[in-house]
Amino acid sequence: MKIKRTVDVETNDFEIGDRLIINDAEWKILDIVDNEVLIWKCTNVEKRCFNRDKNNVYEGSDIQRYLQNDFLKEFPEYMLKNVSNEGFFLLTVDQINKYMPIPSDRTVTNLKMYNIGWWTSTPYVCDSRYVSSVHTTGHVSADPVRFHGGVAPACWLKIQQ
């Protein structure tokens, strides 16, 4: 499999920090473990409500259902077979701190190329109507679950060495 970086590159040449272009969006490689790379969408991010049911639990939320169903149509079909069983998901605050310790590395852009805040899958512990999010500055904050925040999905992509 070849994926466009800035030029075509064999998958065994991937490095953490590489940016891949998939369907006109940039995905950043956050980690490489065995024969899988963790990629995260950082451009052309759309805004969606986290959960209209007013709770901050990621499992079963509107946003999780979107990532496991409708979002799949946006990803190239020939690559879907390489997405791990977990599918597409939102990063947790712990993963964000691990893979992007510098807040300026956490910024994402929307379809108009403006910086926007984006959802995590981590509930905000002080209020069940809020979920942890990443502000446009890259700092972690919280927003109401009915607010429309950026959807910056990640997935583990199987690669063949």
Q: Tell me the pLDDT tens digit for each residue of 144-159.
A: 998 888 899 999 999 8
Residues paired with 2 in a beta bridge: 10
Count: domains in the chain: 1
97-102 contact pairs (CB < 8 A, 24+): 99/30, 99/31, 99/38, 99/40, 100/30, 100/138, 102/138
Q: Maximum distance among all alpha carbons in the chain?
A: 46
Tens of pLDDT, residue by residue over 95-142, are: 999 999 999 999 888 766 677 889 999 999 999 999 999 998 899 999
- Confidence category of residue 9, pLDDT binned at 50, 70, 90: very low
Residue that is written with structure tokens 């940016």 in the block: 19
Q: Can you give the pLDDT at residue 95?
A: 98
Domain extent for 134: 2-158
pTM: 0.88
Q: Mean pLDDT for the chain? A: 87
Q: Can you give the pLDDT at residue 49?
A: 92
State the Cα–Cα distance between residues 11 and 58, nearest whole angstrom: 31
